[in-house]
């Protein structure tokens, strides 16, 4: 998606430890028009495999998942990083390591919101090592639902995430695939 790549080049910053900072438009301050375009693009890309739910993890993926669900006309569900008092105990759960926060979360989804009859598209903002997405795949599998695939805005292709997901047979699509951040320069895969 050229619109997203241009925005990454214009406003993204490369930080130490292979981190690309896109918080001025994607995951702290949000550009609504760009998010809407990303959601429409992802919904269109996966239209060949109809899905009944969009699943993400709080917090940075919520707006992208919402835009995708809205474009597809299906509900969105998000995994919580901390169990809320209102959730009860009827939950799917998985352990997830956050590279950017350097901590492990136990993510949860209430069982009534993911059923075996669902076909799930997982959506997130960034794919790097893939831990969050692997946790969501685990939750989908616990539910017995069908897995349509994973759509992400940005993939750091030089990290192991895509490979880890594809080893599980999961279809992965990224709108902007970063090949390298070497020398502080963002380079995309063609």
CATH of the domain at 123: 3.40.50.2020
Length of the chain: 190
- C-alpha distances in angstroms, 85 versus 50, 90, 110, 124, 185? 33, 12, 12, 25, 45
pLDDT computed for residue 101 by the predictor: 77
Distance (Å, whole) CA 157 – CA 127: 8
Distance in angstroms between the alpha carbons of the first and the last residue of the chain: 11
Query: Number of folded domains in the chain?
Result: 1
Range of the structural domain that residue 156 is part of: 2-188
Distance (Å, whole) CA 146 – CA 135: 15
pLDDT computed for residue 181 by the predictor: 95
Pairing of strands 76-79, 91-98: unpaired
pTM for the whole structure: 0.95
Distance (Å, whole) CA 16 – CA 75: 37
pLDDT computed for residue 85 by the predictor: 66
pLDDT in tens, the chain (190 residues): 999 999 999 999 999 888 999 999 999 999 999 999 999 999 999 999 999 999 999 989 999 999 999 999 999 999 998 777 677 788 999 999 887 778 898 999 999 999 999 999 999 999 999 999 999 999 999 999 999 999 999 999 999 999 999 999 999 999 999 999 999 999 999 7
């Amino acid at each position: 998606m050229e619109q997203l790549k241009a925005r990454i080049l214009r406003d993204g910053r490369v930080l130490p430890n292979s981190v690309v900072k896109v918080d001025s438009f994607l995951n702290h301050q949000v550009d609504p028009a760009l998010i809407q375009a990303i959601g429409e693009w992802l919904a269109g890309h996966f239209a060949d495999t109809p899905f009944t739910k969009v699943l993400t993890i709080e917090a940075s993926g919520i707006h992208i998942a919402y835009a995708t669900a809205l474009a597809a006309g299906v509900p969105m569900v998000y995994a919580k990083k901390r169990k809320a008092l209102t959730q009860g105990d009827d939950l799917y759960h998985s352990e997830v390591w956050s590279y950017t926060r350097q901590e492990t979360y136990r993510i949860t989804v209430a069982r009534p919101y993911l059923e075996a009859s669902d076909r799930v598209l997982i959506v997130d903002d960034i794919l790097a090592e893939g831990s969050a997405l692997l946790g969501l795949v685990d939750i989908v599998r616990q539910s017995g639902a069908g897995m349509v695939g994973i759509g992400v805005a940005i993939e750091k292709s030089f990290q192991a995430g895509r490979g880890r997901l594809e080893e599980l047979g999961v279809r992965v699509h990224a709108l902007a695939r970063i090949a390298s951040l070497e020398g502080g320069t963002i380079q995309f895969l063609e």
